Every structure is written in C-alpha cells, then in structure tokens.
Chain A
Amino acid sequence: MNCKGIIREISDYLDGELELSAKQELERHLEDCEDCKMVVDQTRLAVDVFCDSKPIELPADVKFRLHDALRRKLSARAD
C-alpha cells in the first residue's frame, strides 16, 4: 500500500472498518512513513475535537422564540 492508498483508507481505518489484512498492511506502512502517520493522527484529532465539542447553550433570544412558539402551537393543539 502506497501513501495514496493510505489516504483513501483513512476513514475506514479510523472507524475500525478495515479488514484485518488491510489494517495490518496500513499499520506497517505507518511504522515507516512519518508523513502518513502524521496525517492519520491529525485526521483522528480533527474528528475528535468536533466530537468532543459540547454544544453552546441556546442563545436567549432563540430559546425564547422556540419555547414561545411551542407553547402557542402545542397549547392550541391540545385545546
């Protein structure tokens, strides 16, 4: 597997979806190729920072409008 092949397989590798033989081949390549190892590590980190990022609290005006609309529309439906 060359560098281009590694790049194509990064997603499946990070998701643990590579077949064992392909995974072993990729990991052998990473032992010898610092650039590919850096791309794999940084891509994993890029995904992680988004996954780990907690949503910020709903802005007060957005929250007010949401709950106001739900209160009006759902109460009307319940009547």
Chain B
Amino acid sequence: MLYAALILSEARMRPPIGLLEPLSAPNPHRLPSTVARDDEHLLVAAAKRGDLHAFEELVSRYEAKIFRLTMNITRNREDAEDAMQDAFLKSYAHLKDFQEDSRFYTWLVRIAANEALMRLRKRRPNQFSLDEPMEGDEDLMPRELEDWGPSPEQRFAQTEMHEILSEVIDKLEPDFRVVFTLRDIEELSTEETAKVLGISIPAVKSRLLRARLKLRQKLDRYFRRGDMN
C-alpha cells in the first residue's frame, strides 16, 4: 500500500502527461507486470478521475502481456501493435464504464481481444469462423507417441522456449489459436471466451480441446526424449 500511496501522491503532483518525461521513461522500482498488485483499484480510480499518470502506470504494467495477446491472435506485428494501441486508448475513453466487479486486466483483455479479432477478420476474412469446425474425432487421435523425458522447461533456455512456443502457436489455425490464447494463456472463463468471440460454450470447449491436442502434437517434435542433446 505504501507503493500505491507513493505512486498516487507523486502522480497528483506531476503536470499532465506529455509535459514532462516521455511515457516510456524507465522506472527501476517497477514491479513485474504479471503480478496483480493491491493498488490496482487505486490506480483505476485515479485514472477515472483523469489522472493520466495513474493510467500510464496501468499501461506500463500490462503492455507486454497485451502485446503478446494481440500478437497471438493476429500473428501480424503491425496489426498487433495497432490493436494494442487502440485497446489502451479505448480503455481510457471507456474507463467510466468499467464497473470494477472484475479485474481491470480482464476488462482490458476483452477490449484488446476484440481489437485484435477485428484486424484478424479483416486481413483473413475466412480464417476465423463463428461455426463449429468440421473435423471428426479421428483427427483428435494422437499417433506415434514418444516419451518427452524430463521437464522441457529445464531443457530449454527461456529465449529458445519463447521461439519454440511462438513457432508452434503460429502454425495453429486461427479458430483454435484464438480460443487457446483467451482461455489458457489469458485465463478467461469458458463463458467469457464465448462472449468475446460470439460463439457458443460448446464451440469454445470443442475448439479448446482441439487446440490443446494440436499443440501437444506440434510440441512433440521439440520435446521428445529422442531429440535430447
């Protein structure tokens, strides 16, 4: 709470954004953005009152995660950047509508996912459907199983693992990739995912099952014990 109080008291004393240092000025005391901190509601309340520095802090906390989300959905850097930027702008413009019955980040994810989906549909109109994919159960049956050996997370350096995951998710069809991103990476509920995508709950579940099995299959060539150095 002391951290929150410091940020807010400091924010109140500063002139409006743009008149001082750039928004990207490094802050050595910033905590990891993946941690939801107790002061989030204070920052949101301050941002609602028009405190741009409080909003800046929210942006800095979540920009990396939101960019990962928009990249995972669009798989196009330009679209991902535009979607992220518009998501933050829209979230600021509509902050007064945020009811605070959920986490600010979850609300932001919904906005960013919609921005990214809009761009995905525009660029590849036939690749994200509202309908159930026409695949039989036969496609789900894994073939040529092999033990993966010790924990892959210990076998690969973080950078290498990022490259593997990026390559693997890139090859997943958009229908499955989007559901997997929202449901498993962003941890939206099945209901929230269905609402964001405008598809039924059974469709979310079906796509999630296929996405997970396909990712297992695609990761197999990297993780199987036979390929260990």
Give A contacts to B, CB under 8 Å.
3-4, 7-8, 10-12, 14, 35, 38-39, 42-43, 45-47, 49-58, 62-75, 77-78
Contacts and interface: CB of A to CB of B under 8 A. Distances in A.
Interface stretch (B57-65, B99-107, B123-131): B57-65
Going nearest first, the 6 A-B pairs with the smallest beta carbon separation are: A67-B23, A75-B18, A55-B68, A11-B209, A55-B64, A67-B24
A51 B185 contact: yes
Contacts of B24: 63-64, 66-68
A70 B169 CA distance: 30
Nearest to A39: B142
A56 B65 CA distance: 8
Contacts of A4: 137, 140-141
A59 B64 CA distance: 9
Contacts of A3: 141
A31 to B, nearest CB: 17
Interface in B46-88: 50, 52, 55-56, 59, 63-65, 67-68, 77, 81, 84-85, 88
A72 B18 contact: yes
B185 A49 contact: no
A17 B148 CA distance: 26
B50 A78 contact: yes
Interface of B: 16-19, 22-24, 33-34, 50, 52, 55-56, 59, 63-65, 67-68, 77, 81, 84-85, 88-89, 92-93, 137, 140-142, 145, 147-148, 151-153, 158, 161-162, 165, 169, 180, 184-185, 187, 205, 208-209, 212-213, 215-216, 219-220, 223
B213 A10 contact: yes
B200 to A, nearest CB: 15
A58 B70 CA distance: 12
B22 A7 contact: no
A74 B220 CA distance: 46
A25 to B, nearest CB: 18
Contact of B161 (A43, A53, A57, A67): A53
Contacts of A7: 137, 140-142, 213
Given A7-B141, A55-B67, 10 more contacts: A8-B137, A8-B209, A10-B209, A10-B212, A38-B145, A43-B213, A46-B216, A50-B165, A53-B165, A62-B81
A10 B153 CA distance: 22
